[in-house]
Amino acid sequence: MTWALQLLPEAEDDFDSLPRREQDRILSQLHALRQDPHHPGTRHLFGNLKGCFRARAGSYRIGYCLDEARHEIEVWAIGHRSKFYQVAERRMKG
C-alpha cells in the first residue's frame, strides 16, 4: 500500500532552496518512503525527536513522522546533515 505524503511549508522551503541535483535525490527518497517508510536507511530519532524518523539522501536528511492509522507521512524538515539535527530540534520545540 502506498502512503500519502505531506510536506509541511517549512520542508517545502527547505526543498526549494536545494540545488536541482539534490532535489532529484530527495524526490527519489520521498518516492521510496511512500512505498515503505521503514525501508533500510531510515532511522528512529531520539530525545526531543522521539517518535519521528529520518531518511538519508546523500548528504541530506529528511525528517518525518508517521500516522500509521491513516498511512500518512508528514515531512517536517529537509537539510544537509551538518545542520539537520539543530534545525530539527528547533522545529520540534517550536
Could you read off the pLDDT of 40-93 as tens digits, one per residue? Answer: 889 999 998 999 999 999 999 999 999 999 999 999 999 999 999 999 999 887
Please name the residue that has the C-alpha cell 535525490. Answer: 25
pLDDT at 41 (0 to 100): 85
| Start-to-end Cα distance in the chain | 33
Whether the CB-CB separation of 79 and 18 falls below 8 Å is answered with no
> Domain residue spans in the chain?
4-93
Global pTM value: 0.93
Task: Give pLDDT, residue 65.
Answer: 96
Mean pLDDT over 13-35 rounds to 97
Question: Which top CATH class is 4-93?
Answer: alpha beta
